[in-house]
Amino acid sequence: MAGDTPAPQTASGGDPQAIAEYHAHIYYDPAVSRGRAARLREQVAARFPTARVGRWHDELVGPHSQSMYQVAFASELLPSLLPWLMLNRDGLTILLHPQTGDPRADHTAHAVWFGAVLPVRLEAFGKRSAG
Ligand code: ZN
């Protein structure tokens, strides 16, 4: 449409069927909120045993601008894990994003943030610098 900013073209074409799984990235400050992040991690592992809880990344990794660990889970878990995170994130910032095969879009245009919106290090994706 003339005059409108076109929606970014993504691998998903806007179809939720393209979502293979989801990631929740749990952010923390190693000096301040690691304890809360550890409690959340234990609770997620206990309540959602099919979710895959990743390693701690105190050092910045990929597009993430704070320390974090990742929780990867199947789409079927979203209706239970999403509201549980809403009620139990304990002040932590969380990025929830789908995995559609387009990592740049998944961490920007497709992203859902809990608590705050953190900068995303777009240079991690290689291509263009604007997103
Ligand atoms: Zn991710």
Which pLDDT tens digit goes with each residue over 26-83? 999 999 999 999 999 999 999 999 999 999 999 999 999 999 999 999 999 999 999 9
Distance 80 CA to ligand 1 centre (A): 19
For residue 101, pLDDT beyond 60: yes
Task: Note whether residue 102 is domain-resident.
Answer: yes
Q: What is the CATH number of the domain that holds 101?
A: 3.30.70.1240
Task: Note whether residue 73 is domain-resident.
Answer: yes
Task: Note whether residue 101 is domain-resident.
Answer: yes
Mean pLDDT calculated for residue range 85-95: 98
Domain interval for residue 65: 19-118
Burial 2-35 (b: 16+ CB within 10 A, else e): eeeeeeeebebeeeeeebebbbbbbbbeeeebee
Mean pLDDT calculated for residue range 113-117: 97
Number of domains in the chain: 1
Distance 32 CA to ligand 1 centre (A): 23
Structure tokens at 9: 């073209």
Give the pTM. Answer: 0.86
